[in-house]
Amino acid sequence: MMIGAGIVSLLGYTLFFVMLLALTSGVTYSAYVFMLRRKYAHIPSAKIASFFMGHYPTVRDYMKNNNCPLAGILYEWYKEFGLVFCVHILHNTFVVCLDSKVVKMVMTNSKHTKPTVEYSPFQSLFGTRFVGRSLVSETDHSRWAKRRALFNPAFHRQYLKGLMNIFNESADQLVQDLMKRSDGETVVAMGDKFNMITLDVIGKVGFGLELDILEDANCPFPKAATKALQGLQKSLLDPWYSFNLTSNARTFREESRDACRLLRQIGRDCILQRKEARARGDDVPRDILTYLLDASEELKGDQVFGLEEMIDEFVTFFIAGQETTGNHLSFTLQQICRHPDVLKKILVELEEVLGDRVYVEYSDLAKLEYLMLVMKESMRQFPPVSGASRVLAHEIECCGYTLPKGTRVRVNNFIMGKMELYFDDPDEFRPERFKSSDEKPRHLYAYFPFSLGQRTCIGQPMAMMETRVILAKLLRRFTFQLVPGQRFGLKTELTNKPIDGCKTYISLRE
């Protein structure tokens, strides 16, 4: 009896301490949330739906009801509150700033760093390593800068000029694939086709891989890349998803983890095979993979950059080099199809520059001036990535409001591209707005589809070259007609893509 009473007493004390701990934790958390909200009380903000959840229910319901990304509700709040406003999600707070002067101040000063809280899911997705502390997810600027310097030669103009054969060959592959579907009646989701061919290109130019995805419908790489990005998007938008115990959530998390493992295993095999080839003295291309191996030698003894770190960069370059370029191609083709006058001007320019030639030379790219304007205008309306975040290293002034040190500032080029403050008639698709002039453009620091400052996308020159070659080949060979009834908004799976996939009917151009 005494033993039983002792056990009951012990359980009682244990329950008391658990309840006390829970109460203390709840009070501490509530106090932290209260002080954080008070810290930013001077900044405009929408009405908070819940003390503990902040704006999360409002954001979640708006995105679900309007089938739009986070930028959709941020745009509505901009129209209500102006250039600066505050958003509270649980115990996290960020300030949206749409003033181009502040964008310049924040994005071009490397002292303002990427927020760790937003990039930890990049490093490890649902407990499985994704891209680690790669060029995209590294928040320590000094570490990032040293590694970025090692990769810069892989994107030097002389190296990129040597990729024109691959760009042309891959574009020709896509042409041959579309020829089979150019009856004017078959629905072709060009978003899928562009994602396939851009994945093929980054495989060839970056890692010497022949994926042949257009021919191999069972290639697992595209599905794995998509699933990993979907998992990343879910983890960023739903803070509790990692703890969701429903069968659908558990299955989704496991599929996301499997996707990460597959991508990393492909990277591991690719890297080990190249290392073996170098050890044998075989000739190997000077591609991104070779620079990865060189970087591992240069960083040895300085900081850890072993096999797993090389795999981090492998996955990063594949995802970043494929997704954004494929989506940009989709949005641009979609807009060209919607504006016959734009298409007519492109065709005239292609005839003037290329004549009867099928091969696109490097020297041709600079002459395709109007096509470049079209691509820029497409990225204004539909940027591949909506914006960026930085943690302030020191206090700044923003539109009359003081933002304290440590504030997470979010800039959004998707919203800024819609603002008449920076662009006349922003709803119009008008490529000519990007023509060079002697006047300082109003949109300076309001248009940054490849980010700004030192952390500008390293692959921008290659992406713009690849895009021009592919569009030039397709538009000269085919007529594209958008399938009626599809929507022209965007959906976000970390990157932005056409909500209905840019579905078209294709026929041969006479």
- Please determine, for residue 441, whether its predicted confidence score (pLDDT) is greater than 90: no
User: Residue 143: CB partners within 8 Å, gap ≥ 6?
Assistant: 133, 303
Please answer whether residues 365 and 465 qualify as being in contact, where contact means their C-beta atoms are separated by less than 8 angstroms. yes
* Cα–Cα dist 192/100, whole Å: 35
**Range with the poorest average pLDDT among 90-104, 282-296, 332-346:** 282-296
Say what the pLDDT of residue 370 is.
97
Q: Within 13 Å of residue 97, how many CA atoms lie on the same side as its CB?
A: 30
- Please determine, for residue 10, whether its predicted confidence score (pLDDT) is greater than 80: no
Say what the pLDDT of residue 23 is.
67
Query: What's the mean pLDDT in 241-249?
Result: 88
* Cα–Cα dist 288/267, whole Å: 12
C-alpha of 189 from chain center: 21
Write out the two tokens for 125: 């997705």
**183, β-bridge pairs:** 507
Say what the pLDDT of residue 20 is.
62
Query: What's the mean pLDDT in 9-16?
Result: 64
Pairing mode of beta strands 84-89, 124-125: unpaired
Please answer whether residues 336 and 140 qualify as being in contact, where contact means their C-beta atoms are separated by less than 8 angstroms. no
Q: What is the mean pLDDT of the chain?
A: 88
- Please determine, for residue 12, whether its predicted confidence score (pLDDT) is greater than 80: no
Say what the pLDDT of residue 206 is.
84
Query: What's the mean pLDDT in 286-313?
Result: 76
**491, β-bridge pairs:** 497
- Please determine, for residue 333, whether its predicted confidence score (pLDDT) is greater than 90: yes
pLDDT tens readout for residues 399-419: 899 999 999 999 999 999 999
Residue found by looking up tokens 């505050």 in the block: 86
* Cα–Cα dist 341/424, whole Å: 19
- Please determine, for residue 300, whether its predicted confidence score (pLDDT) is greater than 80: no
* Cα–Cα dist 510/130, whole Å: 47
What is the dihedral angle through the alpha carbons of 473, 478, 484, 489, rounded to the nearest 10 degrees?
10
* Cα–Cα dist 106/139, whole Å: 15
User: Residue 60: CB partners within 8 Å, gap ≥ 6?
Assistant: 237, 238
* Cα–Cα dist 88/34, whole Å: 11
Please answer whether residues 388 and 411 qualify as being in contact, where contact means their C-beta atoms are separated by less than 8 angstroms. yes
Query: Closest Cα partner for 415 from 48, 79, 67, 118?
Result: 79
* Cα–Cα dist 161/364, whole Å: 12
pLDDT tens readout for residues 169-179: 999 999 999 99
**HEC string of 236-280?**
HHCCCHHHCCCHHHHHHHHHHHHHHHHHHHHHHHHHHHHHHHHHH
pLDDT tens readout for residues 172-228: 999 999 999 999 999 999 999 999 999 899 888 888 888 878 877 778 888 888 899
Query: Closest Cα partner for 122 from 114, 113, 132?
Result: 132
Element spanning 119, H or E: helix 116-123
Residue found by looking up tokens 């819609």 in the block: 418
Angle at 82 between CA 79 and CA 83, to 5 degrees: 125
Amino acid at 223: K
The DSSP result for 192-206, as a single string, is HHHHHHHHHHHHHHH
* Cα–Cα dist 295/289, whole Å: 10
Say what the pLDDT of residue 16 is.
62
Say what the pLDDT of residue 25 is.
65
Of residues 153 and 109, the one with the higher pLDDT is 109
- Please determine, for residue 301, whether its predicted confidence score (pLDDT) is greater than 60: no
Query: What's the mean pLDDT in 265-269?
Result: 92
Kindly list the distances between the CA atom of residue 488 and the CA atoms of 97, 319, 485, in Å, as whole numbers in the listed order: 26, 24, 10
Per-residue exposure over 335-362, b if at least 16 CB sit within 10 Å of its own CB, e if not: bbbebeebbebbeebbeebbeeeeebee
Write out the two tokens for 33: 């949330």
Runs of H (alpha helix) within 339-426: 340-354, 362-365, 369-381, 413-416
User: Residue 319: CB partners within 8 Å, gap ≥ 6?
Assistant: 131, 225, 228, 229, 263
pLDDT band at 22 (very low <50, low <70, confident <90, very high): low
Please answer whether residues 293 and 305 qualify as being in contact, where contact means their C-beta atoms are separated by less than 8 angstroms. no
Please answer whether residues 333 and 154 qualify as being in contact, where contact means their C-beta atoms are separated by less than 8 angstroms. no
